[in-house]
Amino acid sequence: MGQISLENNVKSIFCLVKSMKKSMAFCSYLYRDPIFAYCRSYVIIFILFGILPISISTVLGFLAFRNVQELTYRTIPIVRRELDEQLTKIVLIQTSPNIPSNAFNQTYLQFAYSIAILLNYAYFAIITVMSSHVIEEDENYIYEILQEKYLEESTRLLADVFTKYNQLEMYMKTTYEEFYRATLPFSKVIMNDQLSIVAVHKQTKEIHGLVQASDAKKLEEQTFEELGSSEDISKEVFREVEQRFMKQYVQLRENHLIHILMAGVRQDQTRKGLCTKLHQILLALGAQRGFKHAIVEPTDPATYHIYTKKLNGTEFTSVYLPTFVSSDGQRPFEHFDAEIKLIVFDLQ
């Protein structure tokens, strides 16, 4: 049996060799055939491996380049535009044609090309992470989500604006240091809600304005002691108008109600629409994230005008300060002729 199997294997090998010789003879015949030689030289090598790939890459590269130029002028959100531009640039680089060369040089070129592609992707990944907090921009400002690096500067801006120009804080004689110490830990807590917006000047990189806001449900779970705030009788007034609204707000849940807490713009940038712009971005962001309503309690006529006339908010209720009675039975604002009003915005 072993001898028969060996003979069969030898016959199989002999047949295979014979078949290979015939195939080689046929291939040799094809190479000598003028029609095949013409097809190989001018169709396969010249067109399929030469002109066609380079032409396709060139056309696609040109279209990608034109797309990059047009992206800047499209009216789409800046984050979407940045991502589209990055993706288009990646496609543009990917369409670079192969340079004909021998096998040895091609290996080096392919290695260098792979390294370049990796570095290119890493660059765009870093840019995407760095720009993830950017919401919008215009000629003068970049509007970003409040980050920790902006906390101290933004709190100083609020302390300066409120202690110098806010009528309620001026009546209560709140000092800059008191306001700053009370607001800084508060800002750290609400920063995690990713709803506070800052306007960063493009040239100076300074914060010219901001609006602080929080998810009302998350804010409700905090206490003023946890936030490091001192006792402030004005909080009772705000709590009063908020409770009137909450009585009609059946069930307070996360991602349903935005509470706009504070807003401030540098004095040299007032009356230029920056405060309105910040609130427009905030309300649009809230609507995009699925919030149903937003509330705010303005303490002066200027911000009340912005909320009701420019942002189309609706006055829900108000408290007349001279008649307000605090929890200890006193009238702390008896000689302060003003109202605290609650404004509601419908986001959906």
**Confidence band, pLDDT 50/70/90 cuts, at residue 300:** confident
Give the residue with greater pLDDT, 50 vs 130: 50
Which tens digit of pLDDT belongs to each residue from 185-195? 989 989 989 99
Give the residue with greater pLDDT, 308 vs 77: 308
pLDDT at 17: 46
pLDDT at 1: 47
pLDDT at 215: 93
Burial readout 168-206 (b: 16 or more C-beta within 10 A, e: otherwise): bbebbebeeebbbebbbebbeebbebbbbbbbbeeeeee
The H-assigned helical ranges of 193-312 are 216-220, 234-246, 274-288, 301-305
Gap between the Cα atoms of 99 and 57, Å rounded: 12
- Retrieve residue 293's tokens: 């309503």
Q: Does the pLDDT value for residue 76 go beyond 50?
A: no
Q: Do residues 146 and 282 touch, judged by C-beta distance below 8 A?
A: no
The beta strand positions in 95-182, using DSSP E, are: 134-137, 141-145
Q: Do residues 64 and 92 touch, judged by C-beta distance below 8 A?
A: yes
Gap between the Cα atoms of 107 and 185, Å rounded: 58
Mean pLDDT score, 4-18: 51
Strand order across the beta sheet in which 207-215 lies: 134-137, 141-145, 197-201, 207-215, 257-265, 293-296, 339-346, 314-320
Residues 6+ apart with CB under 8 A from 323: 331
Among 29-38, 56-65, 336-345, where is mean pLDDT lowest? Answer: 29-38
Give residue for tokens 């009356």. Answer: 271
- Retrieve residue 327's tokens: 């929890």
Residues 6+ apart with CB under 8 A from 40: none
Give residue for tokens 């090598």. Answer: 45
pLDDT at 38: 67
Which tens digit of pLDDT belongs to each residue from 172-231? 999 999 999 989 998 998 998 999 999 999 999 999 999 999 999 888 877 645 444 445
Helix, strand or coil for residue 70?
helix
Give residue for tokens 């009701």. Answer: 308
**HSE-up of residue 262 (Cα within 13 Å, Cβ side):** 25
The per-residue pLDDT of the chain, averaged, comes to 78
Give the residue with greater pLDDT, 294 vs 253: 294
Gap between the Cα atoms of 282 and 43, Å rounded: 61
Torsion angle of C-alpha atoms 89, 200, 211, 154, degrees rounded to 10 = 130
Q: Which amino acid is at 158?
A: L
Gap between the Cα atoms of 241 and 297, Å rounded: 8
Give the residue with greater pLDDT, 48 vs 260: 260
**C-alpha distances in Å from residue 37, one per residue of 33, 100, 101, 177, 275:** 6, 21, 22, 89, 75
Q: Does the pLDDT value for residue 70 go beyond 70?
A: no
Gap between the Cα atoms of 140 and 142, Å rounded: 7
**Confidence band, pLDDT 50/70/90 cuts, at residue 62:** confident
Task: Let me know if 90 is exposed, middle or buried by CB neighbors in 10 A (0-12, 13-18, 19+).
Answer: middle
